[in-house]
């Protein structure tokens, strides 16, 4: 009888409580990136060089070119504008699909 009561209480609580997510998520305000175990969203208008290097196909040199382009031309108006930077192709954008924001 005791086991039945415990089982029923557990079942009732599972419906009453919100679901628990085990993916760790935090916001790093120093480089404006939201970091999750499964994905990283990076704002190309605010991210620093170290954050930009988290993108596939973007090393230190290309990250610096992104920051330089942003400094000279202002904020990116679209993610596709990244292709104006030497060495960044549509393929690079596709590899980072869903991770880039403006």
Range of 46's domain? 23-101
Domain count for the chain: 1
Judge whether 78 lies within some domain. Answer: yes
DSSP state of 89: -
pLDDT of residue 40: 77
Query: What is the model's pTM?
Result: 0.62
Judge whether 69 lies within some domain. Answer: yes
Output the CA torsion sign for 46, 48, 53, 57: positive
In this prediction, residue 25 has a pLDDT band, given cuts at 50, 70 and 90, of very low
Check residues 24 and 30 and name the one with the higher pLDDT.
30
pLDDT of residue 78: 96
The values of phi and psi at residue 101, to 5°, are -140, 160
Judge whether 84 lies within some domain. Answer: yes
């Amino acid at each position: 009888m005791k086991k039945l009561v415990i089982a029923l209480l557990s079942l009732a609580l599972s419906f009453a409580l919100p679901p628990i997510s085990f993916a760790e998520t935090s916001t790093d305000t120093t480089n404006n990136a939201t970091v999750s175990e499964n994905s990283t969203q990076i704002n190309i208008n605010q991210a620093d060089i170290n954050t930009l290097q988290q993108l596939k196909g973007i090393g230190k040199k290309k990250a610096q070119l992104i920051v330089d382009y942003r400094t000279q031309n202002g904020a990116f108006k679209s993610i596709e504008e990244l292709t104006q930077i030497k060495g960044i192709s549509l393929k690079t954008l596709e590899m980072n699909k869903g991770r880039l924001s403006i």
